Each structure stands twice: as structure tokens, then as C-alpha cells.
Amino acid sequence: MSPVLSLHRVSKRYGGITAVNDVSFTVQRGQFLGLMGANGAGKTTLFSLIAGNQRLTRGDIQLHGQSISGKRPDEICGLGVARTFQIVRPFRDMTVFENAYTAALFKQKAGAEQARERALQTLMSTGLEHVQDTLAGDLTLSGQKRLELARALATGGDLLLLDEIMAGLTPSEVEAMLEMLRRIHLERGLTIICVEHVMRALMRLSDEIIVLHHGVMMARGRPEEIAQNPDVIRNYFGND
């Protein structure tokens, strides 16, 4: 079975600065892949390259065996790639339902009723059905993070890129998000790549973890292997 996503020697340079350097990996259908690294390691840049928000300097990215390099973000989303952003970006003056409905209309293209049903389903999956008539700008940070996830899900994609979906949440909110992501992953059979600084979240959710360091892929393995990897330990905690 061919992988959902394949990166082949992907690089991104900004002038003399190399943000992502010769990164190659594949992601299988239904996999939950964690992506970790210090600030500036290239994680968000890599997401932006996959989603089409930035263009490759070198290499190729394939979705279901077909190259998506050079395609626009809306084209890539239409092919089934959805992403969230570190900084939440809801339509603040629209209701929670209208936010999800707009996302569903973008992908659905099958009529207003189907889009409405998909929007309501995603709000129920993310625990937002009871605030669907609330303006998005009036939600708490936790609510806006859930709405960011709901909008991504509403596009109907089968590859979900989560960029620090738990950043800024309280411990109890992190726990609730963990359980919700685990349930959504299992129920929908999604393929998920998750960038996260909350290490316990990555360790509990991920089938495998990739570690980036200065734009280079330092390690890949199961969570317990990454936790014991000497290179990862040295770069995160020092020689002592």
C-alpha cells in the first residue's frame, strides 16, 4: 500500500538561511506521527511546505503518490490536506457554526445541506455544538483551538496537520484535547501529523515521532525509542 504522504529531500532556504534541509520521510494511512524539535527547528516551515503556504527550494512532496509541489494551498486542501495554525485564525465576527459551515462548503461542493450536516458533525466531534451560535471572537482560547480543529475537519480531508493545537492550554484543557484527538483519530481513521511542545501529548498519541534539529531530521522512532535516544537527550537536555 502506497503511503499517504511522501517527502523526498525537501529543503527550504530563505536567502542564506536554511530552515529545512534535505528532509525525507513517509507517512502511512491512519498513522499518528509526532513532529518535535526546539523553536526554529523547521517544524512549522515543513507544515507550510506540505500545505502549499510556502514553496520548496528543492525536493518533492507527494500525496497518495502524486506530486503536490508547487500547488496552491486551496488546491492541496481540495486534495485532502487540512491544517491548523499556531495562532488561531477564526472569522471572529461570524458564529462558531458559520465558521465550520464555511469550511465545509469549501470542500464539500455538493450543496448547502451536506455542508450543513458536515459542519454540525464536526462541532459535535469537537464539543462545540452547545456554542454554535456564539461569535467565534467571544470563545475562550480553548474554544478557539477547538474551532480551529473543527474547521480543519469540516473540509473533509484525510490528512490533518496539527500545529501546536495545545499551546497555551491549561493542564486540564490539554487532557481534554488529548482525549478528543485520540477519539477523532480512531473514529475517523485520519492520518495525522502533529507538531507539539507538550511532550506528554506527543508521547501518548504518536505511533512514531520525528525529531527535527536545525532543519535536519535527527531521529525517527517509537515514542519510547525517542525518549531514550542519546542524540535527542543531548540536544534537549545537555550532556549532563
Per-residue pLDDT of the chain (240 residues; tens, 9 = 90+): 689 999 999 999 999 999 999 999 999 999 999 999 988 899 999 999 999 999 999 999 999 999 999 999 999 999 999 999 988 989 999 999 999 999 998 765 658 899 999 999 999 999 999 999 999 999 999 999 999 999 999 999 899 999 999 999 999 999 999 999 999 999 999 999 999 888 888 999 999 999 999 999 999 999 999 999 998 888 776 665
**Cα–Cα dist 161/105, whole Å:** 20
Answer yes or no: pTM beyond 0.85.
yes
List domains and CATH numbers for the chain.
1-80+157-240 (3.40.50.300), 91-156 (no CATH)
pLDDT for position 38: 87
| Residue 205 grid coordinates | 498519541
pLDDT for position 184: 95
Q: Return all residues near 173 (Cβ < 8 A) that are at least 6 apart.
A: 142, 166
pLDDT for position 96: 98
pLDDT for position 238: 65
pLDDT for position 44: 93
**Helix or strand holding residue 24 (H, E):** strand 17-27
User: Are 59 and 8 a contacting pair, CB within 8 Å?
Assistant: yes
pLDDT for position 234: 84
Q: Return all residues near 227 (Cβ < 8 A) that are at least 6 apart.
A: 203
